[in-house]
Amino acid sequence: MFARRSELATRAAGLTPRIYQLLLMIRTARRGDGRAGFSELEERLQLGKSTVTELVSRCEQRRLVRRELDGARRGVVRIRLTPDGERRLTRVVWELGDERRQLLSLLADLAGDAEVAPRR
């Protein structure tokens, strides 16, 4: 149910599920500054370098992301959301808010049941 709702929400925002995942990984980048490097995106999305590069290029053409040089690390490129990418991502995350809360609640209940269940 959550996967289907997620797909519908992403498509309503003019995104594909894979682009939505990319935008989400950029927004929640480990450094906390809303910028992610290619190696981080490859790792977090579990995709190869050429696939991530192509995905970023398509998003760049659609003006959802932009590449920036990292001022602290010479030659390193970071990816950042554009205002349009930010708006679309926010729309999907907002639309899925109730479903995410329900999913987290179910997972917490399952974790609680697992702690109480006798070990075999």
Q: What are the pLDDT digits (tens) for 110-120?
A: 777 655 445 45
Answer whether 81's CB lies under 8 Å from 64's CB.
yes
The pLDDT value recorded for residue 104 is: 74
| Residues 80, 59: Cα–Cα separation, whole Å | 11
Reading the block at residue 72, the tokens are: 């602290």
Which amino acid type is present at position 14? G
| Residues 101, 119: Cα–Cα separation, whole Å | 29
Q: Which helix (H) or strand (E) holds 79?
A: strand 77-81
Helix residue ranges per DSSP H, 1-120: 2-12, 17-27, 38-45, 49-61, 83-95, 97-116
pLDDT in tens, 62-96: 999 999 988 777 888 999 999 999 999 999 988 88
Instruction: Please enumerate in sequence order all residues whose Cβ is within 8 A of that of 35, keeping only pairs 6 or more positions apart, or say none.
Output: 26, 29, 68, 70, 78, 79, 80
Q: What's the CATH number for 2-116?
A: 1.10.10.10
pTM for this entry: 0.79
